[in-house]
A = this chain, B = another copy of it.
C-alpha cells in the first residue's frame, strides 16, 4: 500500500466549511483538475490527479497529473518541456475538484499542439445532433510529432 497523503474525507459540513484538505477521490482514486492560464484565464486543460499527483503539485508548485490512459503518474511537460508552474490552487466545496492557475511554459498545453485543449466551439441554439464544431484559437503552435515520441496524453 502506498503512502497516505491526505486524511480521509469528513462530513459534508467539514468538507465544505473546514480548513482541512481531505480530498474526496473517486472510485479510481482521482479528483478532477482544471488548469487555467494565469494570464488570460482561459481553460487550458481538464485532467485528473491521484493523491500522489496532488501532493507533488502542492509540494513542488508544478503540475503533476495521473494519466488514465497510461495509468501512471505524469509530470506535465516531462516529455515536451511544457511544464506548468502553479500560481494558485483552489479546491471546491465538496473537495473532489481542483482548480489550478498556471503559467504554461512552451507553446501550449494540448498534446495536439495547441495552446489549449478547448480549441473548438459548439454552436448554441442549434439541434445538438447536427452540431458542427467551429475551430477557435485552433492553430498549432508546435509539432506534436517533433515534441513527443508518442502522445503525452
Contact = CB atoms under 8 A, between A and B. Distances in A.
Question: What's the number of copies of this chain in the assembled complex?
Answer: 2
A150 interface: no
A124 B16 contact: no
Contact of A124 (B7, B34, B61, B97): B61
A117 to B, nearest CB: 4
Contacts of A123: 58
Interface in A36-65: 36, 40-43, 45-46, 54-56, 58-61
Interface of A: 4-7, 16-21, 32, 34, 36, 40-43, 45-46, 54-56, 58-61, 86, 88-94, 97-99, 110-112, 114, 117-129, 131-136, 153
A135 B18 CA distance: 9
A43 B54 contact: no
Given A117-B93, A118-B92, A121-B89, A133 B46 contact: no
